[in-house]
């Protein structure tokens, strides 16, 4: 009775929380689409050229020298650009750059960042990374993903950044996808939408802007749009029921921004080689008119070959502007693009009303974020704030929840840290943190590093020696993130060694993309622990699970083959 009452109260609280968040999300959309005195006063003080410049986000780094930083500042000041897209560098250098740029800018800058797995995506050497979205796809507790979103928002605000180009809502139903893959939550549209929604809401509740991407869906492509133009030859029915599903659902829940990718989708727009990012049929007709999106439309980076290859810089930005885009990311030639858009207004090709609508929406976004009140960001204690114990604990929790057990629980439940154990490492130049952890916490184990320098006879000898141990832990480390034919084991001899060792007494541990299950000869292993990525936090989590017999909770987020399917996990 009490248990049922508790469940009903919990459901009610979740429903009320979701309703409140939904209402708050709608407030932003209403806010940026109505008049404001501050917005009008700024708009009226600008020339048309300066107004257009508010729609452009310029690339910025702090790892390319002071000369580069100064050159970007001159461009911002000269053209009155609307904001930044931040790339590599360090937190302190970034904050100092932001402070200088904001101080010298007449209108507050909107500072954006690609932080799909947090600040570590661009600042891996000085900030913490959260798990990749594919790893998070294995996590069954979406509340943790929501908390991750809130924590990332907190770190963005600590640095003076306002806009995260995340989450990825592409459905990775093509295992050979060269650009999405580990960046997707998986290949199930419902789970992708739920997890992306939790991540999105966490960031929004944390006070930053988010952008769902890459519209209309980049998950089933075999071309990387950084280097060429992918083509999606699917029916409209297929797009409606699969690729577009997460966008529809999250737009209905108040998504603030949609990033449009560089893809050619003939069923949407059959103009030869036109990317969706500059297509009026894709943006104005489908995204805005049909799906009812009222937030910010942003392009993927306009210096990518997916758009540059067929449409020159300047012309492509004008087309994006006319197609319905509000923010143009990383133009290869912003000066030329601004001039072409200005000329289009002067000649009557585009209207003053269209310009006012776009620019006022961007200025209203800055007002919503209260950028006009923003003070200089303090660098004292910045490193400590961005590497907090709270973040570390959350990363550890996500890693533990993601770890997935396949085949059998038997060897995990029977693992004895006092029994003679062979700790076998394949991949990695030196001993990894997982192996160090295992050696430290087991009393009678021996480490074996299998490297390509070993001869066939040496491998044969090692195979015989490792098999003498009652327990065998075979850990495979792969730093590759994207699919490739051989994955990690290019040596035929090492591949044979693994195939022979991965038997009924072996726990195989994979710190790799889950699609490696298709290639690695470990299927005969009694137990397989999937660690998803070769990072210290995943290695720590798997070690804790083995040593402390912690039950695994992760489920495969993708279909691997007939044996290993989405949702599997013991």
- Give residue-wise pLDDT tens across range 327-361: 999 999 999 999 999 999 999 999 999 999 999 99
Q: What is the mean pLDDT of residues 376-395?
A: 97
Position 488 scores a pLDDT of 55
What is the per-residue pLDDT across 440-467, written as a single tens digit (0 to 9) for each?
Answer: 999 999 999 999 899 999 999 999 999 9
pLDDT beyond 80 at 17: no
pLDDT beyond 90 at 1: no
* DSSP tag of 377: P
The verdict on domain 403-548 having CATH code 3.40.50.1700 is: yes
Q: Give the count of alpha carbons within 13 A of 82, CB side only.
A: 31
- CA 528 – CA 550 distance, rounded (Å): 15
Q: Give the helix ranges, DSSP H, for 105-188.
A: 133-136, 142-159
Q: What are phi and psi of 412, to 5 degrees?
A: -70, -45
Position 21 scores a pLDDT of 67
Mean pLDDT (the chain, rounded):
94
Q: What percent of the chain has pLDDT over 70?
A: 95
Q: What is the 3-state secondary structure (H, E, C) of 476-541?
A: EECCCCCCCCCCCCCCHHHHHHHHHHCCCCEEEEEECCHHHHHCCCCCCCCEEEECCCCCHHHHHH
| Out of 102-111, 460-469, 514-523, least confident range | 514-523
| Out of 383-397, 432-446, 485-499, least confident range | 485-499
Question: Between vectors from CA 248 to CA 176 and to CA 183, what angle results, nearest 5°?
Answer: 30
Q: Is 257 left (phi over 0), alpha (psi -120 to 50) or beta?
A: beta
Pairing state between β 212-215 and 209-210: unpaired
pTM above 0.85, yes or no: yes
CB distance 433 to 540 below 8 Å: yes
Position 5 scores a pLDDT of 57
- Binned at pLDDT 50, 70 and 90, residue 178 comes out as confident
The verdict on domain 55-389 having CATH code 3.20.20.300 is: yes
Q: What are phi and psi of 65, to 5 degrees?
A: 95, 160
- Report the candidate in 333, 313, 316, 334 with the shortest Cα–Cα distance to residue 325: 316
Q: Give the count of alpha carbons within 13 A of 286, CB side only.
A: 22
* DSSP tag of 286: I
- CA 245 – CA 405 distance, rounded (Å): 30
Position 179 scores a pLDDT of 84
Between the alpha carbon of residue 8 and those of residues 2, 56, 538, the distances in Å are: 10, 49, 35
Q: Residue ranges of the domains in the chain?
A: 55-389, 403-548
Q: What are phi and psi of 473, to 5 degrees?
A: -115, 115
Q: What is the residue-wise DSSP string for 248-284?
A: HHHHHTT--EEEEP--B-TTT--STT--GGG-HIIII
Position 490 scores a pLDDT of 74
Q: Give the count of alpha carbons within 13 A of 212, CB side only.
A: 35
CB distance 308 to 316 below 8 Å: yes
Give the number of other CB atoms < 10 A from CB of residue 389. Answer: 8
Position 12 scores a pLDDT of 52
Position 497 scores a pLDDT of 95
Between the alpha carbon of residue 63 and those of residues 87, 93, 100, 251, 433, the distances in Å are: 9, 9, 16, 36, 29
Position 481 scores a pLDDT of 67
Do 55-389 and 403-548 come out as alike in CATH topology? no
């Amino acid at each position: 009775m009490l248990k049922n009452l508790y469940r009903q109260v919990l459901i009610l609280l979740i429903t009320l929380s979701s309703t409140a968040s939904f209402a708050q999300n709608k407030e932003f959309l209403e806010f940026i689409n109505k008049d404001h005195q501050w917005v009008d006063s700024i708009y009226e003080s600008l020339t048309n050229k300066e107004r257009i410049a508010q729609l452009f986000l310029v690339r910025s780094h702090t790892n390319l020298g002071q000369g580069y930083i100064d050159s970007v500042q001159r461009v911002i000041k000269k053209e009155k650009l609307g904001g930044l897209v931040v790339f590599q560098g360090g937190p302190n250098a970034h904050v100092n750059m932001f402070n200088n740029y904001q101080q010298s800018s007449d209108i507050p800058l909107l500072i954006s960042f690609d932080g799909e797995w947090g600040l570590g995506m661009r600042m891996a050497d000085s900030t913490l990374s959260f798990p990749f979205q594919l790893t998070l796809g294995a996590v069954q507790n979406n509340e943790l993903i929501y908390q991750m979103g809130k924590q990332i928002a907190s770190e963005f605000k600590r640095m003076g950044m306002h806009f995260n180009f995340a989450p990825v809502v592409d459905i990775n139903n093509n295992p050979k996808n060269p650009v999405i893959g580990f960046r997707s939550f998986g290949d199930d549209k419902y789970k992708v939408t739920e997890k992306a929604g939790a991540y999105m809401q966490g960031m929004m509740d944390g006070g930053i802007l988010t952008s769902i991407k890459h519209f209309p869906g980049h998950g089933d492509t075999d071309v990387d749009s950084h280097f060429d133009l992918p083509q999606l030859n699917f029916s409209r029915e297929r797009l409606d029921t699969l690729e577009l599903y997460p966008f529809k659902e999250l737009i209905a829940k108040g998504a603030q921004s949609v990033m449009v990718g560089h893809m050619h989708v003939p069923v949407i727009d059959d103009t030869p080689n036109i990317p969706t990012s500059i297509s009026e049929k894709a943006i104005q007709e489908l995204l805005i008119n049909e799906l009812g999106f009222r937030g910010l439309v942003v392009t993927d980076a306009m210096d990518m070959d997916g758009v540059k290859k067929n449409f020159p810089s300047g012309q492509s930005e004008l087309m994006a502007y006319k197609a319905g885009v509000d923010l143009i990311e990383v133009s290869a030639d912003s000066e030329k693009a601004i001039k072409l858009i200005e000329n289009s207004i002067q000649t009557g090709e585009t209207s003053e009303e269209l310009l006012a609508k776009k620019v006022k929406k961007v200025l209203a976004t800055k007002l919503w974020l209260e950028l006009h009140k923003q003070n200089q960001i303090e660098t004292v204690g910045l490193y400590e704030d961005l590497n907090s114990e709270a973040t570390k604990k959350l990363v550890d929790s996500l890693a533990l929840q993601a770890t997935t057990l396949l085949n059998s629980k038997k060897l995990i439940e029977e693992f004895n840290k006092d029994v003679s154990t062979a700790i076998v490492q394949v991949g990695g130049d030196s001993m990894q943190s997982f192996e160090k952890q295992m050696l430290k916490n087991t009393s009678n184990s021996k480490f074996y590093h299998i490297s390509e320098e070993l001869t066939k006879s040496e491998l044969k000898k090692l195979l015989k020696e490792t098999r003498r141990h009652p327990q065998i832990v075979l850990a495979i480390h792969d730093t590759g993130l994207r699919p490739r034919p051989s994955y990690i084991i290019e040596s035929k001899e090492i591949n044979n060694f693994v195939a022979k060792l991965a038997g009924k007494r072996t726990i195989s541990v994979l710190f790799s993309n889950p699609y490696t299950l298709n290639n690695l000869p470990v299927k005969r292993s009694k137990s397989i622990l999937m660690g998803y990525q070769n990072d210290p936090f995943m290695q720590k989590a798997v070690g804790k699970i083995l040593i402390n017999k912690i039950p695994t909770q992760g489920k495969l987020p993708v279909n691997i083959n007939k044996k290993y399917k989405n949702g599997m996990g013991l």
